[in-house]
Amino acid sequence: MTKIIEKNISPSDYYEAALEKGSLVMKPYCACGNALNEDYFCEKCHRKCHCNQIICNDEAVLELVKNYIRKSSQFSAFKVKLARDL
């Protein structure tokens, strides 16, 4: 019998998405949880980060981001999750 070995899925860099004053705001974070500056370089891990996931703080933001993903080519490469589902 062949044993199935699951790949270790490591955390990825992400954007934290929220609505502030009616506008979508996305803040970048390293997989380690460290907030990133405009250059996306993590001072803690000493590496350049590439955010490909968006974590939404509530369902309204999730639906808004899903809409952007469906309609905009700039968002099409992103995966989206709800924060409470992590």
pLDDT digits (tens, 9 = 90+) for 33-47: 999 999 999 999 999
Domain assignment present for 76: yes
pLDDT at 50: 96
| More confidently predicted of 18 and 10 | 18
Whether residue 66 lies inside any domain: the answer is yes
Beta pairing class for 41-42 and 14-20: unpaired
pLDDT over threshold 90, residue 62: yes
Does residue 73 form part of some domain? yes
Looking at the structure of the chain, the number of domains it has is: 1
Compute the average pLDDT of residues 16-40: 96
Does residue 5 lie in a domain region?
no
**Residue 2: per-residue pLDDT:** 56
pTM of the model: 0.84
Q: How many angstroms separate the Cα of 63 from the Cα of each of 22, 56, 59, 77?
A: 14, 9, 6, 16
CB 57 within 8 A of CB 16: yes
Residue range of the domain that includes 25: 14-85
Tell whether the model's pLDDT for residue 1 goes beyond 70.
no
22 part of a folded domain: yes
Residue 6 lies in a domain: no
